[in-house]
């Protein structure tokens, strides 16, 4: 029985996140203070107090979720040192997994995520676009939906749930076409724009030189790639290339979970705010054990459950 550590993605943010970790532990507080110094703005105050509108901005929420998730991960490791069999995360969460696996250090990950979030926000502002969740579509229905609307698949969360990206008009059309095709549910999402799609090409282009300024190392444990659905190689250059590709490519969370199972993982510990990934894992395979570490009570419950 092996464990996989997983890291939350964008959308999980909530005012107050990370505060109890920081107040209870000097190391956690130091992470937030260091983040303030690296980023040049008061991330700690926004995480602990909000407002929610500020926390939702991509250049804020991406580093904010990372710092909160990493503080949760470090608090867990202090209480229950664990050698995880692999690490994974959804979108920005994959960067948290890379940091936990020693591919990047804390400062470098912060720098990347602030820039990544800022460039993605700029791409959203430049061209109005959006995303829509599709529930219960067959492969043929999904293909026809994309062909008729021009949308592309942004996220494969499970066999029964995918998310499409497209222009504002295409996303609106997708809701109508989904009904015509007999698809169970189509829910437009409140996102800044069409993430993990060609609309993010400008962000990808701007992020490339930023990634060239940070040092990538070989992972100490396997880290699952959103793009390939398989473990990253030990080649730092190849990891960097895939993480750049991830900005515009489909994230295949369902494949990552299956890859973790192939590595022997039956238990998944989610670090960071919320339980989104735990919920998705249960939809992929209800037999898998999931737990989350979002705050101190959840940390206590997780340690008890794993013991």
Q: How far is CA 215 from the centre of its chain?
A: 21
For residues 153 and 60, what is the distance between their CA atoms, to the nearest angstrom? 26
DSSP state of 224: B
Task: Compute the CA torsion angle 180, 254, 112, 26 (nearest 10 deg).
Answer: 120
Looking at the DSSP assignment, which residues form a beta bridge with residue 269?
5, 291
For residues 77 and 5, what is the distance between their CA atoms, to the nearest angstrom? 11
The two tokens of residue 217 are: 């190392």
Query: Of these residues, 91, 129, 225, 278, which one is catalytic?
Result: 91
Cβ neighbour number for residue 165 with a 10 Å cutoff:
28
For residues 114 and 95, what is the distance between their CA atoms, to the nearest angstrom? 12
Beta strand 289-293 with 251-252: parallel, antiparallel or unpaired?
unpaired
Sequential DSSP letters for 227-288: TTSSB--S-HHHHHHHHHHTTTSPEEHHHHHHHHHHTTEEEEEEESSSSHHHHHHHHH-TTS
For residues 284 and 160, what is the distance between their CA atoms, to the nearest angstrom? 8
CA angle (266 as vertex; 263, 268 as ends), nearest 5: 100
Please report the beta strands in 29-103, taking only residues with DSSP state E, as ranges in sequence order: 86-89
Residue 217 designated active-site = no
Residue 91 designated active-site = yes
Q: How many CA atoms lie within 13 A of 257 on its CB side?
A: 28
Q: Is 44 helix (H, G, I), strand (E, B) or coil?
A: helix
Query: Of these residues, 58, 165, 167, 196, which one is catalytic?
Result: 196
Q: Which residues are catalytic?
A: 91, 196
């Amino acid at each position: 029985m092996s464990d996989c550590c997983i890291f939350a993605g964008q959308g999980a943010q909530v005012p107050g996140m990370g505060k109890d970790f920081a107040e209870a532990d000097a190391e956690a507080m130091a992470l937030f203070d260091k983040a303030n110094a690296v980023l040049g703005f008061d991330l700690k105050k926004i995480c602990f107090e909000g407002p929610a509108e500020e926390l939702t901005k991509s250049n804020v929420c991406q580093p904010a979720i990372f710092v909160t998730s990493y503080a949760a991960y470090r608090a867990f490791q202090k209480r229950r040192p664990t050698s995880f069999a692999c690490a994974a995360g959804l979108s920005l969460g994959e960067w948290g997994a890379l940091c936990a696996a020693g591919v990047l250090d804390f400062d470098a990950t912060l720098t990347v995520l602030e820039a990544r979030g800022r460039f993605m926000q700029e791409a959203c502002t430049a061209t109005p676009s959006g995303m829509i969740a599709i529930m219960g579509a067959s492969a043929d229905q999904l293909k026809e939906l994309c062909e008729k609307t021009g949308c592309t698949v942004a996220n494969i969360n499970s066999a029964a749930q995918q998310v499409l990206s497209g222009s504002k008009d295409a996303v609106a059309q997708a809701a109508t076409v989904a009904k015509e095709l007999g698809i169970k549910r189509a829910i437009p999402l409140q996102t800044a724009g069409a993430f993990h799609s060609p609309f993010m090409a400008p962000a990808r282009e701007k992020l490339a030189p930023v990634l060239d300024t940070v040092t990538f190392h070989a992972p100490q444990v396997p880290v699952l790639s959103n793009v390939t659905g398989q473990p990253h190689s030990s080649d730092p250059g190849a990891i960097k290339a895939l993480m750049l590709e991830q900005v515009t490519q489909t994230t295949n969370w369902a494949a990552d979970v299956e890859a973790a199972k192939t590595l022997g993982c039956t238990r998944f510990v989610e670090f960071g705010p919320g339980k989104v990934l735990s919920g998705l894992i249960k939809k992929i395979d209800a037999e898998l054990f999931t737990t989350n570490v979002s705050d101190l009570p959840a940390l206590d419950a997780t340690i008890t459950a794993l013991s």
